[in-house]
Structure 1
């Protein structure tokens, strides 16, 4: 009698995950500096503001929700320029940034801000300010560093009207028919003839050698009232902002044609520093001025209702007296000192009751003249009540205002809902609902930035790379002066990220971590410092905080700026080292590998293309041998580092490279964990890119315009559901999207193995595909490598289902197989792996039904004799979520498993008998 075993594999069908059709803001709001808010004169619910991380934010419901203006239309100038409204809600003006060329040029929209076009630019890309007449569509003022220009024809042309030999800061403009009032660093510049001429007004009252920090005006009841905050002319310059608030001197007012400039400081605390002043254009009694209280570092807002005769504080931070807060507030996760300074302040031109201000991290809005305020950076349903301390550890949903950097995401391996997001400035946040909401519900992390979190594969301890230095290896953080004085460490958590403790204090920034899969007591850490930085190693992390660490040998050319460090399955260490600048970029960057735990390193960088500013390395998860790598590179500036940017690929661990994707600056790449054809590429200024034929020698890339932010950092697949993608970014938090799956041209419908008496029969079927060339049947050898044991040419049949088989007579106790399919263009795809055992008796299971599973599934087990069966269910991370032992009798036994508590996704059920014969099947819920 022949004894044989039917074995069915979990088959992950190769699919091409079409890129998401839309991306949703997913992270927590707030945390980055916001500037230059403005409000529409035609609808006070429409507002814009800028972020120093390149976004222009827009709301149509007074800050309840926000969206980004697409970076292909507008890029923020760092907060220097406001959105300028006109008498026609469709016609707007502002200044756009050409990021790579660092040019600032005026633009105009004629369709309400949907699209933007350039207008005349007499400054040649050096526009320092722009102001439009809210009662006209054609009058605009712009300025260069020294000159003022006016257009009276909607930007078709400009004429120079005023200049200063040293510098010209325009602090504000008030338009009043024929009269145009311009606040400058030299005082008031005035036109009384509709802009034909401008002259420095000689009026008295401005303190000697002072000019305007901020300037505004309003007219009602026949009174034209001007106001401004002042500072020494020596401290005023184009491009300054509220970070220069310490230069503040006083607040002045003037009723034009009636009085000279006089002090307007009654009611303002003598210690408070002020900067921004704002008003509507039609109420000369109501003005607002904002700044900071240096004693508390809290933001302050004052209001006058009598034209500046007296002021009253209206933003009452003590106990959040009149403020509905998000997570920032009195005694909150972030106290008021996070916001600290009023960076931007705007009043609706036709409604003195509608006010918005911005600061170091947030936006707040009042619609009743400052009587009460509400946050405008998290979902309004989550905001906290006024006149009560802001609670800590509360979770918040997003409202579209994401304005800080997220570096990485980590899912807890045993909990698909537990995600730790590594941030800059706000340090990090946790989600316990799979990314729907986020909280600062952890203790023990006091550093500015968490760069990377990993999890131990055995004991599930979390480790975090932390640093006092943010923005590491971005263009502003490459020099020793910015980095070497920083601190950092590795922290650890044994309770899923709730509590963190010191694991090892390097007193230097730590940016990346890796555990050696060949020895899980060994960890590597990338520590950044020009003289003592490098890849550090510990061989006894099981000792916890008592672990010992040593600096590995410095790879050739490097100068203390390591970035990624990864350990391959065979123990080879792969690292990238990023940019360092002194007077210029040093040739200290690149890709290096070590086969002896860092005792020595081999430089596998591609010539000098990687010598100056290398970023992430990606190991293709579909390549079992881990020979296929993608390396991201930035172009530098100022010499040899120029024109190096792109994505480079190797299929032989760096022996040779090809430039895979040409781009000015590439941050990272992510390969689909199921299909090597699909790859996402992130860039510094060109947004998100995608290819669906990455195994082709000449792949095609598409810019994903649905993703509206210019500087994504990393694309991360949800490890529990690979149809869900998350994108972290340098300044726009987290976005997420859902892929739709379509079959690849070749679809392996089934891959099965049968253990016969003298051989293993491996058989599979495919759908009809004219492009497939051949199949390589590969088997795992005793060196841990898959070797081809047979090449089977694709059949030229017309049947919908095409069958193949092969008999393997070279048997082991355990036999592992996989298929490699090759198409006519050379693209390669792999099946999942099957294991065929050679047991002494037979058991088998029927098909699982129903599929997909809803509340449960059923199957029948056939056994040739009475036996115990061990049944286990695993998720896609390999974590066991269900197990039981069942005694079966000879013949058929029906079984049923309840899945009501399981999340949607792909699972594997593994059944083995007492002689270690195994059957594995896929379950879809």
Structure 2
């Protein structure tokens, strides 16, 4: 609701009514649902429970760990208490191992440390390192763990980062590893550990480690070759005779009736301009690594059409028959002959069985890359096979046919079955159709839901679409829907949070749709490509002719008065600070008042600027604490919020600040190093929601989503029941104000259906005499006058152009005006009696 400037009116303090009943315990009982179309991000590891082919675990680099107990019909994110840890990169999975005796005991090697569950993933316990609490006790990259099947208390833990090393083919030697390195041994189930790295080279990154049961022999693969210990890990000897180089992906030890066979995958190295320089493939040893035989055979080596080699990372061996090996081309390999290959004669010949097609909403016309990150036989039924890529696929006939197990079609939309993997950047709710919403994903683009977020329609025509002059924009940042013409949608496209960072935010722009996202036009125009953050003035002009502001990181601020057909640079007063333009908002009560957040990524140039003349000039708000401003937000009351950190690159201090006087003064209302989203409930401004993002730091304060029900005086964590807490945003649903949607950086979209009993009658009112609801209106406008009993009041509705289209006089203090006869648009409601003469905007 937006007051109109009127010389006859003296706008007084804005008050609000809270007609809602709240429990002081509401924050302890929040229930969240994980929703979306399913899949859409790389899973690097799968493991199948030895006695039950339907129990499958899967993990990736940003998602954490998932589990199915019904063969993929449904999946559950089982990060559970891992999601509440206040340190590190716990979602980075390097290996998953099931205890060979107790199948409820599962180990995961992560970017933070080694964790174990004793109950199939219901909760997790840190095993190594013993403590993570500060710079002196930092997280540790753990890569693999070997468990002695004859004595499961005997464990060997390798440190390193197999996922970073191996998950993308680049035909170059492994990079040097600069983390904590070595092999650690425990003889008491992980209670204590001993470093056993004598003979291993400095800075070794262990990839896989295997222990020969009931013996002192341990084998490992690494970025420095194969090593064997014959004395329980006390000393190590390199075992690389016969290998063309020492860049080893993975090693598997097979017990063939008492004889041990070692099989490994060798990273492909070579000069892509010369197909004869292929150096990689599959190798085998029958003497514990003393010598190695090349069994690559006729596996494809070079794609002549794309000038790329083929790399083979993961493979598996058929239980009880070591002559049968299945492998898959790695991501980054050539395309022409990519897929799943099988040999039935120990590598003499290999057959192409299947080229992954994925399926569901990820059809081959939209995305195609025939790699697989992992491949596994089910030990209890080898006809069951599982592969992972950006989804999970299952075969029940030893790899001849495959089916996706992540989504179900609902009409022309898709509903995920719990395997929600995507980095979710944004959501927008249709202001007219409460069942419609838009979701923006990193890498996987734009989706729309027409059924209240039950199922999702993919809108991008290709995984990396091109719109006119815009390319390299597979990610969606923010989405804006015209409240008058809800078929009009504005979308910020960019390279993604990780891709943009790596590429220096050089790609991206703005696209506009007039058909609910079915098709788009590039309206970036003369502005430079890059990371755009826009603010659309929906109170100006008409649909398809709005005023738009765009903050372009590295380039400054731009303005269009004709819906993006032309742009002008509006950086007067910003000086060199213009290059740090990051976030921009319009005051909903005064469209000439614009606020610009600057983010210098730790260069001590972050700030907040204000314009009172539509961007013609800017003034720095020196009253705000110094630092990078990651988020700026202003609510309908005119309250201004800013998330500030000492450094956006490495946030160690900061907080949420609020100004109630247009930025003249600020008060810190929440202390946390990295606040990246804030929103006020549209129906009750007492309710605020914020996102405190971890950003891979060790901190004593819990990250997650915080809620205040008293205008920021106190806060409560409400994300304890979310199993992925690297949040990108949290937003109230304006159509259901008790509902919050939250997007995560690898766990998809989550929704809490009821944060509290917030009723639709929690509305703003002015001068202690008047309020109305809802706004936007659908069929009826409810008006309540306070302290004006039996007072004759005149109600008038005008078009935005000033034409009087509806008028009535009533002494009823609770009035309902039908709006069925109004077209979609912006209107002015004028109320006149002896107590009040005010005009307000509302939207139909």
Say whether the fold is shared (TM-score over 0.5). yes
Name the CA distance, whole Å, in 1 between partners of 2:298 and 2:230: 34
Question: Does residue 275 of the first structure (1) align with residue 313 of the second (2)?
Answer: yes
Shift, 1:510, TM fit: 4.5
Q: Any residues of structure 2 matched to 1:169-208 within 5 Å, and which?
A: 169-177=205-213, 178=215, 179-192=217-230, 195=232, 197-200=234-237, 202=239, 204-207=241-244
Give 1:168 deviation, angstroms: 2.1
Work out whether 1:689 is the aligned partner of 2:705.
yes
Bigger drift between 120-129 and 490-499 goes to: 120-129
**Paired position in structure 1 for 2:374:** 344
Change (3 A) 1:672 1:352: same
Moved over 6 A (4+): 232-235, 747-752, 837-848
Aligned 8 A contact 1:872 1:910 in 2: no
Aligned to 2:200: 164
Q: Deviations over 1:702-721 (max 9, x none)?
A: 34312222222222233333
For the 8 Å contact 1:577–1:588, the answer to whether it is kept is: no
SS at match of 2:643: strand
> Residue in 2 aligned with 1:398?
416
Q: Which residue matches 1:229?
A: 265
- 3-state DSSP of counterpart to 1:777: coil
Q: What's the CA shift string for 1:613-661, capped at 9, x where partnerless?
A: x22223234x2xx1x12222345378xx754322222222222222211
Q: Once the 2 structures are TM-superposed, how far is the Cα of residue 536 of structure 1 from its aligned partner? A: 0.9
State the 1:14 CA deviation. 4.4
Give the counterpart of 2:536 among 509, 515, 519.
515
2:593 maps to 1:573 = yes
Cα 1:517/1:115, change in 2 over 3 Å: closer
Q: Please give the alpha-carbon distance, in whole angstroms, between the structure 1 residues aligned to 2:138 and 2:325.
A: 36
Alignment of 1:544-555 (within 5 A): 546-553=565-572, 555=574
Taking a change above 3 Å as real, the CA distance of residues 45 and 812 of structure 1, as seen in their structure-2 partners, is: closer
Match of 1:854 in 2: none
User: Which residue of the partner structure matches residue 210 of structure 1?
Assistant: 246
1:729 to 2:763 alignment: no
* Aligned ranges 1:231-310 → 2 under 5 Å: 231=267, 249-256=280-287, 260-271=291-302, 272-279=310-317, 282-292=320-330, 294-296=333-335, 299-310=338-349
Going from structure 1 to structure 2, the CA distance change for 1:687 and 1:398 (only over 3 Å counts) comes to farther
Q: CA deviation at 1:349?
A: 4.7
Cα distance in 2 between the residues matched to 1:673 and 1:726: 14
CA deviation vs aligned residue, 1:30-84 (integer Å, no higher than 9, x gap): 2222222222224332232333225222222233322223364265353433344
Residue pair 2:62, 2:91 contacting (<8 A) in 1 also: no
**1:117: which partner in 2?**
125
Q: Find 2:34's aligned residue among 5, 25, 39.
A: 25
Deviation, 1:365, is: 2.6
Listed one character per residue, the Cα deviations across residues 708-743 of structure 1 (whole Å, up to 9, x for unaligned) are: 222222222333332333222222221122116537
In structure 2, distance between residues paired with 1:403 and 1:366: 21
- Which of 504, 510, 525 is 2:549 aligned to? 525
Rate the CA distance shift 1:14–1:114 in 2: closer, same or farther, 3 A. Answer: closer
- The 2-side partners of 1:146 and 1:234 are apart by 28
SS in 1 for 2:503: helix
One of 420, 425, 443 as aligned partner of 1:407: 425
| Residue deviations 1:301-360 (CA, integer Å, cap 9, x gap) | 22223333332222234xx5xxx72222432x3x222xx54333344455544433333x
Structure 1 residue 437: Cα displacement: 1.2
Out of 579, 582, 588, the position equivalent to 1:560 is 579
Q: How much does 1:261 deviate?
A: 1.8
Quick one: distance in 2 between partners of 1:182 and 1:133?
13
Call closer, same or farther: CA 1:586–1:188 in 2, change over 3 Å: closer
Q: Distance in 2 between matches of 1:440 and 1:146?
A: 44
Corresponding residue to 1:155 among 170, 179, 190? 190
Aligned mate of 1:365, from 371, 394, 402: 394
Q: Take 1:815 and 1:181, find their aligned partners in 2: how far apart are those partners? A: 83
CA contact (8 A) 2:241 2:290 kept: no
- Which residue of 446, 464, 468 maps to 1:428? 446
Q: Shift in Å at residue 459 of structure 1?
A: 4.3
Aligned residue runs from structure 1 range 356-755, under 5 A: 356-359=386-389, 361-379=390-408, 394-441=412-459, 445=467, 447-460=473-486, 462-471=488-497, 482-484=503-505, 486-505=506-525, 506-520=527-541, 521-530=545-554, 533-541=555-563, 546-553=565-572, 555=574, 558-568=577-587, 569-581=589-601, 585-604=602-621, 606-609=623-626, 611-612=627-628, 614-621=629-636, 623=637, 626=638, 628-636=639-647, 643-685=652-694, 686-695=702-711, 698-739=713-754, 741-742=756-757
Alignment CA distance shift 1:617-1:80 (3 Å): same
Q: Please state whether the residue corresponding to 2:752 is helix, strand or coil.
A: strand
Does 2:751 correspond to 1:777? no
Note the C-alpha offset of 1:295: 4.1
Query: d(CA) in 1 for partners of 2:811 and 2:120?
Result: 70
Q: 1:42 to 1:79 in 2, by over 3 A?
A: same
Q: Distance in 2 between matches of 1:344 and 1:434?
A: 35
Q: CA deviation at 1:425?
A: 0.7
Superposition deviation, residue 494 in structure 1: 1.4
2:108 corresponds to which residue?
94
Once the two structures are TM-superposed, the CA of residue 154 in structure 1 deviates from its matched residue by 0.7
CA distance in 1, matches of 2:220, 2:72: 30
Aligned partners of 1:403 and 1:733 also within 8 Å: yes
Structure-2 change in CA distance of 1:750 and 1:590 (3 Å): closer
> Contact 1:14/1:675 (CA < 8 Å) preserved in 2?
no
- Give the conservation status (yes or no) of the 8 Å contact 1:181–1:188: yes
Would the aligned equivalents of 1:575 and 1:593 in 2 still touch at CA under 8 Å? yes
User: Are 2:596 and 2:609, in contact at CA under 8 Å, matched by a contact in 1?
Assistant: yes
Secondary structure at the residue paired with 1:558? helix
Shift of 1:281: 6.0
For residue 742 of structure 1, give the secondary structure of its aligned residue in structure 2. coil
Runs of at least 5 residues in structure 2 that lack an aligned partner in the other structure: 1-15, 84-88, 131-136, 160-179, 272-276, 303-309, 695-701, 772-784, 798-804, 832-844
Structure showing greater radius of gyration is 1
Structure 1 gaps of 5+ residues are 1-9, 98-103, 236-245, 383-392, 753-774, 781-802, 817-836, 849-869, 882-908, 912-925
Question: CA 1:111/1:606 → structure 2, altered by over 3 Å: closer, same or farther?
Answer: farther
